[in-house]
């Protein structure tokens, strides 16, 4: 196969340009990962989120649990300086899940207790 020299030079130049552009983009990607990691580390170590305790002095029944959690999040979100959600609240208080799991139908039946609703 007989290929002209200008075509070979053009193809070689295109190949070199593709390699250079790929290397430059890869370097930019690596630098962006370092910057993202650095920002995340700075946020976690320099500015920890303060935790405020709220004490509840009444019994919350299962029937009222979801409404209570929603109202607690809505009321607390206005005066806290960090976003609060039901998920964050329950993750910070693992005893809530333990207490709810004890109300499971099969767990209650083992204790000879039947909860209708």
CA atoms within 13 A on the CB side of 32: 6
- Banded model confidence at residue 89, pLDDT cuts 50, 70, 90: confident
pTM for the model stands at: 0.46
Among residues 40, 99, 115, the alpha carbon closest in space to that of 65 is found at 99
- Name which of 110, 29, 10 is nearest 101 in CA terms: 110
- The residues, any chain, with a CB within 8 Å of residue 54's CB and separated by 6 or more, are 72, 76
Q: Are 76 and 54 in contact (CB under 8 A)?
A: yes
Res. 38: pLDDT tops 80 = no
* pLDDT tens digit sequence for 68-83: 888 888 887 777 777 7
What mean pLDDT comes out for the span 30-38? 68
Per-residue model confidence (pLDDT) at position 97:
85
């Amino acid at each position: 196969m007989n290929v002209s020299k200008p075509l070979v030079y053009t193809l070689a130049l295109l190949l070199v340009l593709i390699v250079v552009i790929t290397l430059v983009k890869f370097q930019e990607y690596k630098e962006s990962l370092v910057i993202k990691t650095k920002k995340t580390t700075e946020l976690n170590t320099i500015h920890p989120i303060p935790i405020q305790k709220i004490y509840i002095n009444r019994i919350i029944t299962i029937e009222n649990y979801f409404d209570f959690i929603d109202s607690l999040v809505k009321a607390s979100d206005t005066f806290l300086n960090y976003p609060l959600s039901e998920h964050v609240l329950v993750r910070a208080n693992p005893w809530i899940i333990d207490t709810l799991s004890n109300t499971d139908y099969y767990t209650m039946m083992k204790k000879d207790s039947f909860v209708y609703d």
